[in-house]
Amino acid sequence: MNKKQEIRYHIIFWILFLLMEVFSDIVFKNAIENPNEYLLHNLEFLVLQMGIFYFVYLKIAPVTIPAKKWTYLVSALILCILLFAGLRYVLEEIVLYKITGFHNYYPNSLRPLFYIFDNSYYAFRIILLSLVFYFVKHQLKVNQQYNELKLEKKQAELQVLKSQLSPHFLFNTLNSFYADALDVNSKLSDDILKLSEMLRYVTYQNEEFVLLKDELNFLNNYIILFKRRFEEGLFIKNSYPEFTKPYKVPTLLLIHFVENAFKHGVLNDAKNPIQLHIEIVKEQLVFKIENAFKPQDNYDENGIGYKNITQRLQLMFGKNYQLKHFQKENKYFVELQLPLKK
C-alpha cells in the first residue's frame, strides 16, 4: 500500500465515520434543535477523535508494536484515554461554553471520575479503530517486504543461471587442473580444490538455511584464498566454535561482513589484524568481526548491503536477533547474534 492509497482509505473512513455519527444522532435524538451548536460541537468532537486516532497511529503504535513493548503500549493507551477526557473537558466545557453558553454535560455529570469513565467509551473506540488501521498497514508492509525479498531472490537466481557457463564443464575443468597440479604443486592443487568447493557451494546451495559447519567451511576457504591473493600479506585472527549438533544458519549471510572487512579494512598491518570471532552461546550464534580502516575511508553504515541484510534478518527472525555495526576511533565493529536452527 503506497502513501496515496493510504490517504485515500483514511479519507473514505472519516467520511463514513462522520456519516454514521450524524445518522445515529438523527435516529436517537429524532431532531437537531440547534443546528449551529450541533455543528460546532460535532466539529470539535471530530477533530479531537482524529487527534487521538493519529497520535496512536503515527506515534505510539510504530514505537511499541513492532518492538513488542506491550507494557509501554498499554500504559500509553491508558494515558490517551485520560488525555481524551481532559482535552474534551477543556474544549467543550470551557472553550465552547464561552462561545455558545451551553454545557455539553449536566453539572452533576462533571465529576472527574464519572467524566473520565463516560468518555472512556469514546476514547477506547477511536483507539481501537486506530490500532486496527495500524495492524492492517503493518501486516501489508511485512507481506510486501517478504514478496520483494522473494522476488529479489528469484531475480538473483535467474541472474546466476544466466551468468553460468556450463557449471559442469567449469567444475570438471577445475578438477582436471587439480589433478594436473597435484603432482607439481600441492599448495596450488589445494587452492584449486577450495575454489571448486566454493563455486559448487554458491551455485547449487539454494536452501534458505544450511549447516553451520558448511557455512564456516565456505567462509574459511574464502579467507584462505584471499590470503593467497595478497601473498600472505593479509593479517587476520579467527576463531570458530567446536560443536557436534547439526545447527543451521541462513545461507551466505556471514560472508557479507567478511567481504566488507576485506574491502574497507587495513589488511597488511600485523599489529592491527582483522579479528573474527564466532561462537555458540545457549544455542545462539554470536558473530563478531572488527577491522582497522584508514581515517579518510568512511563506511556507509546505511548502505544497500546492510539494508538488504537487515531486511533478510527481519523476515527470517522478526525481532529475535541483534545486529550492531559501529565505528570507534579508527576501527569498525560488527556484532551479530541470532538463534540457531536444528
- Total count of domains within the chain: 2
Residues 19 and 94 in one domain: yes
Residue 180 lies in a domain: no
Helix (H), strand (E) at residue 191: helix 186-204
Over the stretch 322-333, which tens digit does the pLDDT of each residue have? 999 888 888 899
Read off the C-alpha cell for 297.
575511508
Whether residues 264 and 136 fall in one domain: no
Same domain, 328 and 222: yes
Q: How far apart are CA 224 and CA 163, in angstroms?
A: 25
pTM reported for the whole predicted model = 0.52
Is residue 72 one of the residues assigned to a domain?
Answer: yes
The conformation of residue 268, written as its DSSP 8-state character, comes to: S
Sequence-separated contacts (24+) of 159-163 with Cβ below 8 Å = 160/202, 160/203
Question: Mean pLDDT score of the chain, rounded to an integer?
Answer: 82
Residue 194 included in any domain: no
Nearest alpha-carbon partner for 60 in 131, 122, 3? 131
Residue 299: DSSP 8-state: -
Is it the case that residue 169 has pLDDT exceeding 70?
no
If you average pLDDT over residues 164-191, what whole number do you get?
A: 66
Q: What percent of the chain has pLDDT over 90?
A: 27
Question: Does the pLDDT value for residue 32 go beyond 70?
Answer: no
Q: Look up the CATH number of the domain holding residue 236.
A: 3.30.565.10
Position 179 in a domain: no
For the cut 90, the answer to whether the pLDDT of residue 34 exceeds it is no
Q: Final residue of a domain: which of 144, 175, 198? A: 144
Would you state the cell numbers that stand for residue 220, as one nine-digit string? 574459511
**334 has a pLDDT exceeding 90:** yes
Q: At which of 144, 159, 190 does a domain end?
A: 144
52 in a structural domain: yes
Least confident segment among 7-21, 111-125, 170-184: 170-184
Residue range(s) defining the domain that contains residue 252 = 209-339
Residue 229's Cβ-side half-sphere holds a number of Cα atoms within 13 Å equal to 9
Considering 144, 173, 200, which residue would you say is the last residue of a domain? Answer: 144
